[in-house]
Amino acid sequence: MKPGNPFVRMGHATLEGISRLGTATRFLLQILWRSGTSWRRFHLIVREIYSSGVLSLIIIVVSGLFVGMVLGLQGYQTLRTYGSAESLGVLVALSLVRELGPVVAALLFASRAGSAITAEVGLMKTTEQLQAMEMMAVDPMARIIAPRFWGGVISMPLLAAIFSMTGIYGGYMIGVRLLGVDDGAFWSQMQSAVDLRDDVVNGIIKSVVFGFVITLIALFEGYDAVPTAEGISRATTRTVVTSSLAILALDFVLTAFMFKGA
Amino acid sequence: MDRTLLDFWVGVFVAIGLAALFTLALKVSNADSFDQGKTYTVKASFNNIGGLKVRSPIKSAGVVVGRVSDIHFDNQTFEAVVDFRLSDKYQFPKDTSASIMTSGLLGEQYVALDAGGDSHNLKNGDTIRITQSAVVLENLISQFLYNKAADSSSQGNAGNAANPGNVPAAGVKP
């Protein structure tokens, strides 16, 4: 059997994929198992919330504002045709809270914080810092990986909420201040259309899931990287590509489960 | 970085995030006190519910007094049975009538309750007897066109062209 046989290659790729998936699952279980230390030494998690949450704040706020303002402009154009420009608040708030908030914030988070995590962990592996820690009887899983994981999981929903809120404020600025939609109608129609459990809580659930997935992918790619300069660059690229695809696919699945028939 | 400064910025970040969450919950969405309060359920059956959905509002005199909690099809009477979840704060007489209305020409549909004059109030599990189905726009238009056609074909045939914009007969049941 020649190794160039297409069936051989296909089988090899399939087995490779399954084995990576299995390794990633074991990786996740190890993170959860060793998380106790990082919760007891909470400042480790605080530091990671700083690097993945606080440092992502600027890009999240600015993009949220612009996305909201564009929604305000575009929505106004269409709604005015049907004489219902007052529904602008509903359009802006529902699209942000349900979809754009969690998804766009997650995409930004993956490229801003996820890539940084992969590069950092990958470089630690390449320069053999992780092995050095093991030799000093410090568990790198508990000291390096788990705090980064929980930092990302905690930061993501907060960032998504900030994104939605600044977006709604951007839509308000454009709709009410610039285009002259009635102030009271904007907020009251929004409040009557947006449901706390069906829209807001489901949006938060989405962003928690995204935070979980992005941080796991980023950490795994870093931990699993080929320990060379090229390996790190490839791992970083894979983090951004894989987590973006995972976000979009998961968003579809979660939406299909959450908003059925409504 | 200094530990205190780091803690400070993380604290600011978490505070902003929680504030955004609270604003979303309180200012953007309808965390209406209605859902927490005590409620009672009454039933009503309609020939046609149009576009009524679960969680559609139930209004009386324009005020939201409850929400539609369930819609199902009765296979015996071939009618739609709609469950209304009404707030305990609002009590209605037994002979209250329910009709399905549309807010605006193309807006969402809601149930309007018109209070009757009975001295007994509706209780949990009661049925509203007097109902009026949703007006289906297509029926309305076809009826109108039909009348128009009858109108023009029987010109001079006086007396037969009454009521051109005939609204479909209300499905009032005894």
- At A15-59, the pLDDT tens digits run 999 999 999 999 999 999 988 888 888 888 999 999 999 999 999
pLDDT in tens, A210-227: 999 999 999 999 999 999
Distance CA B77, CA B95 (A): 21
pLDDT on residue B15: 92
pLDDT in tens, A53-81: 999 999 999 999 999 999 999 999 999 88
Calculate the dihedral angle through the C-alpha atoms of B81, B84, B85, B87, rounding to the nearest 10 degrees.
Answer: -160
Q: Which of A92-101, A155-164, B35-44 has the weakest average pLDDT?
A: B35-44
pLDDT in tens, B40-98: 999 999 988 887 887 788 889 988 888 888 899 999 999 999 999 888 888 899 889 99
Q: Which of A49, A162, A196 sits opposite B25 (nearest CB)?
A: A196
pLDDT in tens, A128-167: 999 999 999 988 888 899 999 999 999 999 999 999 999 9
pLDDT on residue A246: 95
Q: Which of B29, B34, B67, B103 to probe the A interface (max A CBs under 10 A)?
A: B29
Q: CA-based angle A197:A198:A202, to the nearest 5?
A: 85
The verdict on B103 touching A (C-beta cutoff 8 Å) is no
The verdict on A252 touching B (C-beta cutoff 8 Å) is no
pLDDT on residue A172: 93
Distance CA B79, CA B100 (A): 14
* Among B164, B169, B165, residue whose Cα is nearest residue B135: B169
pLDDT on residue B173: 47
Tell me which range, A2-6, A172-176, B28-32, is most confidently predicted by mean pLDDT: A172-176
For tokens 């296909």, name the residue.
A10
The verdict on A161 touching B (C-beta cutoff 8 Å) is yes
More confident residue, A241 or A3: A241
| DSSP-assigned letters across all residues of chain A | --TT-HHHHHHHHHHHHHHHHHHHHHHHHHHHHTHHHHHHSHHHHHHHHHHHTGGGHHHHHHHHHHHHHHHHHHHHHHHHHTT-GGGHHHHHHHIIIIIIHHHHHHHHHIIIIIHHHHHHHHHHHHTTHHHHHHHTT--HIIIIIHHHHHHHHHHHHHHHHHHHHHHHHHHHIIIIIIT---HHHHHHHHHHH--IIIIIIHHHHHHHHHHHHHHHHHHHHHHTS-SSHHHHHHHHHHHHHHHHHHHHHHHHHHHHHHSS--
pLDDT on residue B35: 57
Q: Which of A117-126, A175-184, B9-18 has the weakest average pLDDT?
A: A175-184
For tokens 């490839």, name the residue.
A234
pLDDT on residue A129: 93
Q: Which of A47, A165, A191 sits opposite B20 (nearest CB)?
A: A165
Q: Which of B13, B53, B72 to probe the A interface (max A CBs under 10 A)?
A: B13
Q: Evaluate whether A234 touches A225 at the Cβ level (below 8 Å).
A: yes
Q: Residue A149 corresponds to which tokens in the numbers above?
A: 């994981």
The verdict on A214 touching B (C-beta cutoff 8 Å) is no
pTM above 0.90, yes or no: no
Confidence of residue A260 (pLDDT cuts 50, 70, 90): low
The verdict on B155 touching A (C-beta cutoff 8 Å) is no
Q: Which residues of B touch A97 (CB under 8 A)?
A: 24, 28-29
* Check: complex ipTM more than 0.85: no
Distance CA B152, CA B140 (A): 18
What percent of chain A stands above pLDDT 90? 68
Contact B17 A93 (CB under 8 A): no
Task: Supply φ then ψ for residue B17, to 5 degrees.
Answer: -60, -45
Distance CA A221, CA A235 (A): 5
Q: A193-202 burial string, b = 16+ CB within 10 Å, else e? A: bbbbeebbbb
Distance CA B35, CA B44 (A): 21
pLDDT on residue B106: 65
Q: Residue A33 corresponds to which tokens in the numbers above?
A: 């198992």
What is the nearest CA distance from A112 to chain B, expressed in angstroms?
16
DSSP state of B33: G
Q: Residue A169 corresponds to which tokens in the numbers above?
A: 């404020």
pLDDT in tens, B108-155: 788 899 988 888 888 888 888 888 888 877 888 888 898 888 888 776
Find the closest chain A residue to B54 by CA distance. Answer: A262
Count the Cβ atoms, other than its own, within 10 Å of residue B107.
12
Pairing of strands B79-87, B63-74: antiparallel
Q: Evaluate whether A165 touches A94 at the Cβ level (below 8 Å).
A: no
Q: Evaluate whether A207 touches B36 at the Cβ level (below 8 Å).
A: no
pLDDT on residue B161: 45
Q: Which of A170-184, A214-228, B20-34 has the weakest average pLDDT?
A: B20-34
* Among B149, B70, B166, B25, residue whose Cα is nearest residue A202: B25
Whether residue B32 has pLDDT greater than 70: no
Distance CA A248, CA A63 (A): 18
More confident residue, A122 or A261: A122
Mark which residues 37-66 of B lie under 8 Å from A by CB: 53, 55
Q: Which residues of A touch B103 (CB under 8 A)?
A: none
